[in-house]
Structure 1
Amino acid sequence: MAQARPAFENPAVAAAYESFPAPQREGLLKLRTLIFETAAETPGVGTLEETLKWGQPAYLTPKTRSGSTIRLGLPKQGGFALYAHCQTTLIPDFRSLFPDEFDYEGNRAVHFKEGAALPLEPLRLLVRSALTYHLK
């Protein structure tokens, strides 16, 4: 269900993506598209707000308050990552479903290597869980 990448409404977010090195940027943009697609097809999520938190692109559900913030960024170890709030059960729950398929950073992130294929369907589950975290 790939759709065109949504336009950037926030110039600061667009600038943040432009500042990422090209190989990581491509993976991060794929995750960004997945977040918007998943939000659009998930009941109860509503409109996403794309902003910066700690200098990283962040995705919130301000109107419905259905979700926990998702952030995208570059970990110190290299590659790129999808971050969830570390005090949620999002990453531990995801790890229990996919213990060996992903590289995890504690309770806060899933790491990816640039150039590697992203397993979009499992990641859609993680994104949907984050976007509906407060509906449980």
Structure 2
Amino acid sequence: MNPDIQSKFASCPKEAKQQLERVRALILAIAAEHKLGDIEETLKWGEASYSIKGGSPIRIDWKAKEPSAIRVFFHCQTRLVATFKEIYRDEFGYEGNRAVVIPLDTDIEQVPLRHCLLLALKYQSLKHLPLLGA
């Protein structure tokens, strides 16, 4: 894990840190399972950022002003969040066209987050398809 991201996660409350680590592990697992290549893991705008060639960046963070959830951020000029809202209307909370809200007590294996992350990681090859091919 990138040391900057490790420090960032360590600064969060235990439950938030654990949820961020679970989402990070899911991103890395998806990339490996689908042989998408190496993930670049950096800190951008104070948030953990994951990008891959051919994909759209994903950022994850916890904010003290809304302590009961983490956010998974997607590039706001893509169709990603609009697509998620269309196909997963009730499974998530959303923040505009840029984030999916994941409560700290959510089992991320029980919500369609894996599919959303996969669409982001493969975005460049899917962006021309209706509903990103979902």
For the residue of structure 1 that corresponds to 2:112, the secondary structure is: helix
Look up the match of 2:38.
47
How far apart, in 2, do the equivalents of 1:39 and 1:120 lie? 19
> For the aligned residues, what is the CA RMSD?
1.4
Q: Deviations over 1:89-135 (max 9, x none)?
A: 11110111110111111111111221232245611110110001112
Q: How does 1:1-136 map to 2 (within 5 A)?
A: 8=1, 10-43=2-35, 45-61=36-52, 65-75=53-63, 76-78=65-67, 79-120=69-110, 122-136=112-126
Distance 1:17 1:111, change over 3 A: same
> Which runs of 5 or more residues in structure 1 are unaligned?
1-7
> Which runs of 5 or more residues in structure 2 are unaligned?
127-134
How far apart, in 2, do the equivalents of 1:126 and 1:72 lie? 13
**So what's the TM-score if we normalise by structure 1?**
0.85
Distance 1:57 1:14, change over 3 A: same
User: What is the percent sequence identity of the aligned residues?
Assistant: 38
- 8 Å CA contact 2:19–2:70 kept in 1: the answer is yes
Quick one: which amino acid aligns to residue 66 of structure 2? Q
